[in-house]
Amino acid sequence: MEAMNGIVLIDKPAGISSFGVVARVRWLLSQYAGKKIKVGHTGTLDPFATGLMIIVVGEYCKRASEFSKLDKTYEATLRLGSTSSTGDPEGEVTPVSDRQPAEDEIRTAFQKFSGVITQTPPSYSAIKIDGVRAYKLARAGKSVEMPTRQVTIYKLELLEYAYPTVKIRTHVGSGTYIRTLAEDIGRELGVGAYTAELRRTTVGEFDIRDAQQLDALTDANDIILRELPAQESALE
C-alpha cells in the first residue's frame, strides 16, 4: 500500500458508532504509515444500524460531500404498536396501540410516502442546531426544535409483514431519515412505529457486496483502498 488516498467500503456492524469505524481505519493506516493519516466518513449510520459506509482517505477527504449527496438504499424492520424516544430500539419505548393493521392497509399507507415528501428529522440526529449536534441537546434534556426538510423517496417496497414487524426496502435521496419514515408510517396507520433494525445496502453505485467487514481488518494490509479514475466522479 503506497499512496494513502482513496475510499474504503466498510460493512459497519451494529453496536459501534460511525466515528468508531473511522477511528479504526485511521489507526490501522496511521500505524502502517508511521504518521497520522487523514480519514473521514461520507455519511453516518446510527450505532444500532449496519451496512455500507464509504470511508475517505487522504486527498479524498476533500470529496466527502460528493459521496454524501448520493442516493441510498436501505432495508429496515419496523415495529408497529409502539414509539421510541429515539426512533430506534435504543430509546424509551412507549406502547401506542395493539390494533393489527391489515397488509392492504400498510400498502395503502406506503403510497403516501412516495416522491418528494416533507420530513422532520429526529431530535436524536447529527444535525447541528446553533452549532451543536441535536442528539447532544436531546441527551441533555433540552428541547430541540428540528427544521423540516424536503426529501425524496424513489421506491418503498414491502418485503414481509408479520405483526408487529414490517420489513421494507427503500431507495431514497440524500438527507432522508428512515427512523422518521418509520414514525410517519406508524402515525399514518394510527398505531405508532419505530425502526427496530436498519441496514444500508447501497450508496450511489457502491454496493454492500463489495464492502469489507470491519472486524476482519486487523492490519493496514487488510484494507482495500480504492481510487476512482481521474475522470470519474462519484456522482456519475
22-70 tens-digit pLDDT: 999 999 999 999 999 999 999 899 999 999 999 999 999 999 999 999 9
Position 231 in a domain = no
Position 190 in a domain = yes
Does 186 lie in the same domain as 140?
yes
Does 181 lie in the same domain as 213?
no
**pLDDT tens readout for residues 96-114:** 999 999 999 999 999 999 9
Closest CA to 58 of 225, 211, 229, 236: 225
Position 153 confidence tier, pLDDT thresholds 50, 70, 90: very high
Q: What is the DSSP string of 62-115?
A: GGHHHHHTS-EEEEEEEEETEEETTSSTTS-EEE-------HHHHHHHHTTS-E
pLDDT of residue 231: 45
Does 153 lie in the same domain as 137?
yes
User: Which helix H or strand E contains 153, and what residues bound it?
Assistant: strand 149-162
Position 232 confidence tier, pLDDT thresholds 50, 70, 90: low
Is 104 a catalytic site residue? no
Share of residues in the chain with pLDDT > 90 (%): 80
pLDDT of residue 235: 43
Does 217 lie in the same domain as 154?
no
**Domain span holding position 178:** 72-203
pLDDT of residue 236: 44
Does 61 lie in the same domain as 87?
no
pLDDT of residue 108: 97
Position 228 in a domain = no
**pLDDT tens readout for residues 180-224:** 999 999 999 999 999 999 999 999 999 999 999 999 999 999 999
Does 92 lie in the same domain as 59?
no
Closest CA to 180 of 123, 108, 99, 132: 123
Does 45 lie in the same domain as 29?
yes
Position 235 in a domain = no
Residue appearing with cell numbers 487488510: 222
Residue 83: how many CB atoms within 10 A of its CB? Answer: 21
Catalytic residue among 46, 71, 130, 207: 46
Per-residue pLDDT for 233 more than 70?
A: no
What is the tally of structural domains in the chain?
Answer: 2
Q: Are 154 and 172 in contact (CB under 8 A)?
A: yes
CATH of the domain at 78: 3.30.2350.10
Does 136 lie in the same domain as 78?
yes
Does 161 lie in the same domain as 188?
yes
* Helix pair angle (103-110, 178-189), 10° resolution: 120
Higher pLDDT among residues 17 and 127, named by residue: 17
Does 91 lie in the same domain as 53?
no
Position 213 in a domain = yes
